[in-house]
Each structure stands twice: as C-alpha cells, then as structure tokens.
Amino acid sequence: MCGCLRIGVVGAGFVGERHMDAIRRIGQAHLVAVVDTDYDLAHARSEQYGIPRCGVAIDEILDEVDVIHNCTPNNMHVEVNTKAIRAGKHIFSEKPLALNTTESRAMLDCLRRNPKVVHAVNFNYRMNPMVQEMKQKIAANEIGDVLLVHGAYLQDWLMFDTDYNWRLEPSVGGPLRAIADIGSHWIDAVQTVVGSSIAEVCADLATLIPIRKKRKDDRAATFSKGGGTDYELRPVTTEDYGAVLFRMRNGARGVFYVSQVSAGRKNCLYLEVDGTKSSLYWNQERPEEIFIGNRDSASLLMTRSPDQLSAQAASYACLPAGHPEGWNDALLNNIRAFYRFIADGKVPGVDDCDFATFEDGHRVMQIAEAILSSSRTRSWVSVDGRERHMRRVEQLHVSRTVQIWAQRLWEQETALSRNLRLALRQPVGEFPYQGLELCVSD
Ligand SMILES: NC(=O)c1ccc[n+]([C@@H]2O[C@H](COP(=O)([O-])OP(=O)(O)OC[C@H]3O[C@@H](n4cnc5c(N)ncnc54)[C@H](O)[C@@H]3O)[C@@H](O)[C@H]2O)c1
C-alpha cells in the first residue's frame, strides 16, 4: 500500500502544520522531511512531529521523497509544484493553485509530460460528509431541478488597518485576494455539490482599507492579530470584499459574496441551493448540519449521523453521530483520498477521483480571473471566452508584460462594446459619453 511512500512538506506555517497532523492521523505514509525558509520553524515542526529531516528549500529533500505537500504562500506554488512534477513526485498543493492562469496552465502542461504524477489541490470543504450529502441529494434529484445557488464566505481577521499578512501583497498573494483566498473555496464547494461549473460572471470588487499598517517586525502570521506601534504604511490594491453574480453551465443562476472585514464572522462559508422541490443549506461553522427547506411541509434540520447519510456521503464520516467533525476532518479526508488513489494504482485523468485535481484548480483560476476582468470592465464576462482570448495571446509567445497589456486591451474592448451597446439604446442627446471616455482611458 502507501506505507512505503515518503512525504516531504514544504512550508510549515498555519496550514502546513495541519497537513502534518492529518498525515500522522492517516498513518498511510511516512512523513520524512519538512522544509521552510524559516529554518527555526522547520526545525520546531520536525521536533514536534518526529520528522527526521528538516531544511530550508525543496531542492534539499526532493531526492528523498515520493510525495510533496506544497503549503507555501501562493507565489511559490508554481515553482514548488513544477519542481515536484518534473522530478516525478506526486503533488498535493495548497489553493489557490497559482497566481494566475498562465502559471496554472504551465503546471497542466508539465503534468501532460509527466502523466503518472498524481495531483491534488486542497479544496477541503468538498470533503465534509454533509457537503457530500448535499451532492448526493442533488444528483438523486431530491430537490428537483437546481434553480438558484447562493451564499458567502466571510471572515474578520483583516478588518482593522493594523491587520497585515502576505496575502495583502499582490506579488505574494496574487492580483486577487478575498476571491482567490476564500472565494476559491466557495466556488469549488458549489461546483462540487451542483455538479456543474460557473460559466459567466458579473462582479464588483472593492478595497475598503486602501492603506494598512504593516508591523516592522514582520510578524504577520495567518489569522494573527495586528497591532503594535512600530509600523510602516502600505497601500493595498487587492479586494477586501467581492460580490459575484454568476450563471452555471447547467442553467442555474447564482450569487455569492466574500469579505475579510465582517466583524464576528471568523470562517463563515455558507451555501444554499434552491431546487424546484426543496432547498439545501450548509454552513461550515455548523458543519454537522444541513437545513432542508420545504414549502408545504415542515423544513428539517438533518444532523450528521453515518447510518442516516447516503452510503456515499457516510464514507466521509469517521466518527459516530454526536462526535462532531469539521474543518480539520475534511482536510484529513482530502489527504486520505489522495493517498488511497495512489495506493489503488489509479491513473490521473483516467480514473475518477473525489478530490480536486490541478485541472479543477486551473478552472477555479479561470473563474477568478474572469471575476477580476468583470469587476474592471463592469460587465458580464464569459469564463471560456476570456480563456480562449488569453490562450491565443499566449500562443504568440510574447512576454508576460505584453500578455497583461493584451488582457487589459480585451477588458477595455469589452467595456467599450458594452458602452456602445448601451449608448445605442439611449434616446438621442442622452449618450453616456462620460462613461465611455472613462472606460477607454482606464
Ligand atoms: N485549504 C485551506 O483551508 C487553507 C487554509 C489556510 C491556508 N491555505 C493555503 O496554504 C498556503 C499557506 O498558507 P498559510 O496560511 O499556511 O501561510 P503561513 O504564512 O502560515 O505559512 C507559509 C509558510 O511557508 C514558508 N515559505 C515561504 N516561502 C517558502 C519556500 N519557498 N519554501 C519553503 N517554505 C516557504 C513561510 O516561511 C511560512 O512558514 C496558501 O497558499 C494558502 O492559501 C489553505
């Protein structure tokens, strides 16, 4: 089985430690190395988890492992993942898969040249038993045709201007923040339960705290509190808040919003699916419950009880009813599914898997970029239409800077044609010249 597989974890911060804990609990493979650019942290984790080897870079351990868990900040995902894939190592990467679709597409190209590498992205919410139960109920047509999908992902750990983290810096976190960091989870969870993907988006993103105070001692761990008096002022360009209208390929309509500045909301991901017969609602802060909404009979609160779940969803429940399972257990389920896939000798792209693959991670990146384009152009954007455009640009083999120009040009053209369409519908004398000029000069 997997017992002989040797695992190296790259990045030993907040989520890296959760991976180590889950790997230990699963017990199917050996944790043999941990690296972090902060050597003291890597060393502390190696002592904590009894890991024989620690270091500061992936290159030091690549020859000694069979699997890499990439738990580094977003800007390091492409480099670490690509090194692992090229070396023929299975790769379990954190989300979002990359900073942009150029990077995520490059990883897919790399995987095509290394087809035996098993790849996963840690979209862990889909592995909660109650999310799987929603998926089964929808697939079994228990709620009828899916009409609407709605929800949110709200946090408050970045609500003060003294709150700071690498996620706020586009060069590390990427050009999108709330959407990429937490919206990506929401998108994956919804696409999983509905069994369809988001095809078109119309978004409004906002940076509500445009200047933040970064502590000079640079202690800005994930979910840590800001504060102190010795800080420097930093401009922020990424969104604290985003709202997205969307249409799915199966025809369902939806809306969600994300925020990292909503007081009292710690990790509040919730989603609701409205069907022609009934609705289903799940909130990750009450992960053991699904609300089943009915109109002509009593609505129900279903709690996690393995013998009452569908057989498929029950396989994601580790504990008996009344022994709560949540975020940590869903993460464990994701890692376990990945190792089972390897142990069963399954082949990526051929055999079905329940965890998110790099293809899924790339699709989420495409949707995230369409959301950014939509917010900039104040218009609906087709995810596939934008992807086709960007592929054509990439095939020209121009530099990344030229690609970004091409993207902005496309956005301006989109805004321009939208405004022209709007203008043509106006009575003579009321053309919105001002909006037109603004978009062209953006
Ligand atoms: N799936 C989830 O629910 C979930 C939750 C939190 C974070 N994440 C993702 O995990 C990643 C890490 O987030 P975090 O909150 O753990 O951040 P973190 O800042 O707590 O930890 C990141 C660690 O990576 C180290 N690091 C940076 N560059 C490195 C490199 N080149 N090689 C080795 N180590 C390096 C840093 O020193 C740090 O210790 C992010 O991509 C984030 O989006 C996912």
Residue nearest ligand 1's atom 38 by CA: 13
Q: Please indicate whether residue 415 or residue 111 has the higher confidence score (pLDDT).
A: 111
What is the separation of C-alpha 317 from the centre of its chain, rounded to a whole number of angstroms? 23
Using a 6 Å cutoff on CB, does residue 252 contact ligand 1? no
Class of 125-322 per CATH? Answer: alpha beta
Cα separation, 33 vs 6, whole angstroms: 8
Tokens (6 digits) for 364: 């989420």
pLDDT (mean) for 120-145: 98
CA distance 300 to 289: 10
Question: What is the domain partition of the chain in residue ranges?
Answer: 2-124+333-356, 125-322, 396-440
How far, in Å, are 185, 243, 347 from residue 152 at the CA level?
10, 9, 35
The class (CATH top level) of 2-124+333-356 is: alpha beta
- Give 230 Cα–ligand 1 centroid separation in angstroms: 25
**Ligand 1 near 94 CB (within 6 A):** yes
**What string of H, E and C letters represents the secondary structure of 101-151?**
HHHHHHHHHHHHHCCCCCEEECCHHHHCHHHHHHHHHHHCCCCCCEEEEEE
Query: By percentage, how much of the chain surpasses pLDDT 90?
Result: 81
d(CA 363, CA 384): 10
Residues 6+ apart with CB under 8 A from 57: 35, 37
H-type helices in 184-270, by residue range? 184-194
Q: 70 forms bridges with which residues in the sheet? A: 10, 93
Q: String of b and e for 134-173 (b: at least 16 CB within 10 Å)?
A: bbbbbeeeebeebeebbbbbbbbbbbbbbbbbbbbbbeeb
Query: In the structure, what pLDDT confidence band is assigned to residue 403 with cuts at 50, 70 and 90?
Result: confident
Does ligand 1 lie within 6 Å of residue 72's CB atom? yes
Burial class for 305, CB neighbours closer than 10 Å (0-12, 13-18, 19+)? middle
Q: Is 233 exposed, middle or buried (0-12, 13-18, 19+ CB in 10 A)?
A: exposed
Per-residue pLDDT, averaged over 327-337, amounts to 98
CA dihedral over 315, 356, 94, 58, signed as positive or negative: positive
Could you tell me the pTM of the whole model?
Answer: 0.91
Question: Does residue 176 carry a pLDDT above 50?
Answer: yes
Nearest atom within ligand 1 for CA of residue 15: 16
Cα 383 off chain centre by: 16
With a CB cutoff of 8 Å and minimum separation 6, the contacts of 34 are 8, 9, 10, 12, 16, 20, 42, 45, 46, 49, 51, 53, 54
The residue nearest atom 21 of ligand 1, judged by CA position, is: 13
Instruction: Flag the least confident range among 116-130, 355-369, 398-412.
Output: 398-412
